A and B are shown apart, each in its own frame.
Chain A
Amino acid sequence: METAESSQTIAASFRDPSGFLFRREGHIYRQINTSYKENYDLLINSGLYDNLVNAQLLIPHTEVNINSRLSDEAYKIIAPEVVPFISYPYEWCFSQLQDAALITLEIQKRSLEFGMSLKDCSAYNVQFRKGKPVFIDTLSFENYPQNRPWVAYRQFCQNFLAPLALMSLTDIRLNQLMRIYIDGIPLDLAGGLLPWSSWLKFSLLSHIHLHAKSQAHFADKTVDTHGYELSRLSLLGLIDNLHSAVRKLKWKAKGTEWCDYYNDTNYSEHGLEHKKNIVSEMLKKASPKIVWDLGANLGLFSRIASDRGILTISFDIDPAAVENNYLESVRKKEENILPLLLDLTNPSSGIGWENQERMSLMNRGPADTVLALALIHHLAISNNVSFDRIAQFFSRICNFLIIEFVPKTDSQVRRLLITREDIFSDYSQQAFECHFGKYFRTLDCVRVTDSERFIYLMQKG
């Protein structure tokens, strides 16, 4: 029989006194502590759980009877449905964060109808599953005493409204502040970065500017908050106003470097079709369950994998490309593709307490197969990373590698070399094969029609 010793707690949930996540033999469980018993029973018995799960807003779970309790406080152990790839707000595009914010508010609205309220509004409680955002923290619900203000109001403003407003009105790249501030962007910082015109919008004026002023004003004052009430109508009005504020924020993906990439390649029509066929055949040989497409742009090649039912994480450095990729996946109701923002030269690191609360990219791998198409020259030439380091990195994040070699004579590489001195004497196909050969076995290599590029299928080892 399994024992507590064979279980391992997951750092992401250590702050929650209501329970915690743990892993055992590859399965993820959540222990519910006795202190959360009443709230958990209310969630189930009130019908809120069924309501949210049926609407695909909350991750479903089953109660299990296992002997792996890691503390004496256990009330129940549940096995939540596993989200196959965990992503974080700083990896989401504008519309992903906006959708996550909207389902959080929808959940809060529904919770109030069932006499409960969200006590926690962290953006990390939302994950993307089957192409849609879903709330994953079953222990974030609590009994709602009539006329009590919303305890998670500040967290919602910091985790959703502030970053969305900054991305929409100041600069799309400011979502990266979420990497630094794990509990959301401080409102005084957000207010200082927003344009003056945001003072003229009622919702931003109140939920960000006035909110920040109020925090500063009362921070060094002792105020007895007992006895103050917020009527149910006011709370519903507050949620409605936040909903409208989030919905009205817009960002149009245009004008960035990679946004029009497919209109700016040097492939002929035949070449592009041939490249798609090569990738398709190689994917068939690798038969992966999960693919990471690095430098995916709008996800043209990611969709060769995802259309076959393979979960494909479609990474790109460009917020506009990720935005368009996500919007296309929403439009087509695709379930197997997850577009995410990633700077491969500085991938997401472990952050939070002991650098373990939120996982690094490497900790979320390895992927069965990595696609690295039209990428090698950007890593080697634009970023001065040697073939050996690139090969070593790929060997740590995947078992199969489908990689395109782009020679120096290619027009895209020549373009990169226009503005820099050619110090890359080692950049050749022979050197590429030699360095990658230290970490991978080449299973296949095909030249792309009408081009000088080669695509390799490699297996680790």
Chain B
Amino acid sequence: MEFFYCRIMTVMLMVLIVCVFAGKAYAAPGVFAYIDPGTGSFILQLLIGAVCGGLFAVKLFWNKISSFLKRLLPSGRKNGNSGK
């Protein structure tokens, strides 16, 4: 599920690049980035942070569910065995 979510976010980010930074190719733009690369990093971090935060929440949720299921499964077997 996380993998699927990750792929969707990748595609969305690529679309975002085209929309927001259209026309700024690698060959030309870096000049100002050496003067102040901080602002772009700051803004980008907010954007990516929000995406990663969402991914992280999914991951935490998924981990909780899977550990819950793992806990259930062996205890279910134990119960099954004890029931024999």
Contacts and interface: CB of A to CB of B under 8 A. Distances in A.
B24 to A, nearest CB: 5
Given A205-B10, A219-B32, A233-B57, A211 B44 contact: yes
A169 interface: no
Contacts of B14: 199, 205
Given A154-B38, A210-B48, A216 B29 contact: yes
Size category, B interface: 35 or more
Size category, A interface: 35 or more
Interface in A163-198: 186-189, 191-192
Nearest to B29: A216
B43 A202 contact: no
Contacts of A233: 53, 56-57
B10 A200 contact: yes
Is the contact region of chain B dominated by helix, strand, or loop, or is it mixed? Answer: helix
Contacts of A115: none
Interface stretch (A23-31, A237-245, A288-296): A237-245
Given A188-B29, A205-B13, A236-B56, A213 B24 contact: yes
A120 to B, nearest CB: 14
B56 A214 contact: no
A207 B10 CA distance: 12
A264 interface: no
B41 A202 contact: no
Return the 5 tightest CB-CB contacts between A and B, nearest first. Answer: A219-B32, A237-B56, A234-B53, A215-B40, A216-B29
20 contacts: A153-B41, A188-B33, A192-B26, A206-B44, A206-B51, A209-B17, A210-B17, A210-B47, A211-B40, A211-B41, A212-B30, A217-B24, A223-B42, A228-B46, A230-B45, A230-B46, A234-B49, A234-B52, A238-B45, A240-B52
Given A214-B21, A238-B53, 5 more contacts: A157-B41, A201-B10, A217-B40, A219-B36, A240-B56
Interface of B: 6-7, 9-10, 13-14, 16-17, 20-21, 24, 26-27, 29-57, 59
